[in-house]
Amino acid sequence: MADEKAAPRHVGVLTSGGDAPGMNAAVRAAVRGCIGLGAAVSGIRRGYQGMIENDLFPMQLSSVGGIINRGGTILGTARSQEFMSKEGRAKAAANLAACGIGGLVVIGGDGSYRGAHALHKEHGIRVLGVPGTIDNDIAGTDYTIGFDTAINTAQEAIDKIRDTAESHDRVFVIEVMGRHAGFIALDSAVAGGAEAVLIPERKGDVESICKKIEAGRKRGKISAIVIVAEGAGSALEIGYLLSKMIGVETRTAVIGHLQRGGRPTALDRVLASKMGFAAAQGLFAGLSDKMVCIENGKIVYRPLSHAWKHKKEADMELLSLVDALSI
């Protein structure tokens, strides 16, 4: 039930930071949720930069028709240096005030949350964050929008590369995204049946990988897959070291931004729909400076600052599982 005293009459919706599959589903749910609760809605193009440039447009129910299945974000996204200054945020806040916008739904990651938090603290703007990032590295929520699609994209690539690896008796080193966190690498390694995985959270040991590959070849294993998170090292360098140390033909593949695009999985569409709608409900219940989280399948709200005051730990049991199952 909406709190009439707290209910904003006009809500802005934006996506910020790196795009993630499922962002459009979250936009759809937030827009329709807010309209259903009686508010006008404006879309803000290119995140905080669009807010500074007053690049806003009215959104209707039909504005988000047919987008739940689309990757990327129809609102566009950008990283704004100007918004990092107080002057930039003041300009953005003035534009919102001129349009009568009293609440914001911000879909993005840690950096997007910091911007929303600053707007709330400095200008009293009511903000709700929705976690949209393929890295799944936001503390406080079990999953972020886009993660499931990213690991499914990586898994499909790994499956195809394994066909070639087995055909040519090769070792392949595959680099996936994850500059500061190994969530994608760990899940991809387990799902793809990799022989080894390197992640930023734990120092990699190339020598032990060599021993495992050599042991496998002695018992007739003709190929191997090594998954590397981008923050754990370069696939090219690791591939070169493996080739030099064990004398086998090694190839590398960097999946890169393929993981950020494409149609969102059913899981990401459902998650994004739940979270986007929960953001609308939260605004109308008088919440602010909060992020929507999923915990044990249930929606919960936590302070935006939780995202940077706490570190989400990777599941190291998956690291042990990869090692145990790749004998």
278 pLDDT above the threshold of 80: yes
143: its two tokens: 């999953």
The confidence score (pLDDT) of residue 3 equals 52
Query: What residues are labeled active site?
Result: 135
β-pairing verdict for 126-131 and 224-229: unpaired
Given CA atoms 319, 320, 326, 327 in this order, what sign does their dihedral have? positive
> 292 with 278: CB under 8 angstroms?
yes
Instruction: Order the strands of the 171-176 sheet from edge to edge.
Output: 196-198, 224-229, 171-176, 250-254
4 pLDDT above the threshold of 60: no
Q: Identify whether 1 is part of a domain.
A: no
Same domain, 191 and 217: yes
To the nearest whole number, what is the mean pLDDT of the chain? 93
The confidence score (pLDDT) of residue 213 equals 87
Same domain, 208 and 278: no
Q: Identify whether 317 is part of a domain.
A: no
The confidence score (pLDDT) of residue 7 equals 78
Q: Identify whether 5 is part of a domain.
A: no
Same domain, 70 and 131: yes
Same domain, 256 and 278: no
Q: What average pLDDT does the segment 34-60 reach?
A: 97
The confidence score (pLDDT) of residue 249 equals 85
Q: Which of 28, 74, 72, 81 is nearest to 52 (CA)?
A: 81
pLDDT in tens, 50-75: 999 999 999 999 999 999 999 999 99
How far apart are alpha carbons 55 and 117 in whole angstroms? 21
Same domain, 271 and 136: yes
Residue 195, strand partner residues = none
300: its two tokens: 């919960």
Split into its structural domains, the chain has a count of 2
Given 261, 290, 318, which residue is the final one in a domain? Answer: 261
Same domain, 135 and 201: no
Min mean pLDDT across 10-24, 236-250, 255-269 is at 236-250
Same domain, 208 and 106: no
Q: Identify whether 268 is part of a domain.
A: yes
More confident residue, 157 or 248: 157
Same domain, 34 and 111: yes
Q: Identify whether 287 is part of a domain.
A: yes
Q: Which of 30, 114, 100 is nearest to 284 (CA)?
A: 30
Q: What average pLDDT does the segment 6-11 reach?
A: 87
pLDDT in tens, 169-221: 889 999 999 999 999 999 999 999 999 999 999 877 888 898 888 888 888 88
CATH for 242 = 3.40.50.460
Give first-to-last CA distance, the chain, whole Å: 55
Same domain, 166 and 290: no
Q: Binning pLDDT at 50, 70 and 90, where does residue 327 land?
A: confident
The confidence score (pLDDT) of residue 1 equals 39
Min mean pLDDT across 124-133, 134-143, 191-200, 217-226 is at 217-226
Same domain, 126 and 23: yes
Q: Identify whether 121 is part of a domain.
A: yes
For 21, the domain range is: 10-146+264-309
Min mean pLDDT across 106-110, 210-214, 223-227, 259-263 is at 210-214
Given 233, 261, 289, which residue is the final one in a domain? Answer: 261
Same domain, 196 and 100: no
Q: Identify whether 315 is part of a domain.
A: no
Same domain, 125 and 64: yes
Q: Is residue 29 classed as helix, strand or coil in its secondary structure?
A: helix
112: its two tokens: 């997007």
CATH for 85 = 3.40.50.450
Given 261, 294, 320, which residue is the final one in a domain? Answer: 261
Please state the φ and ψ torsions of residue 305, each to the nearest 5 degrees: -65, -20
Q: What average pLDDT does the segment 100-129 reach?
A: 96
Q: Identify whether 325 is part of a domain.
A: no
**Strands of the chain, DSSP E:** 10-15, 40-44, 56-59, 103-108, 126-131, 171-176, 196-198, 224-229, 250-254, 290-295, 298-303
Q: Binning pLDDT at 50, 70 and 90, where does residue 79 land?
A: confident
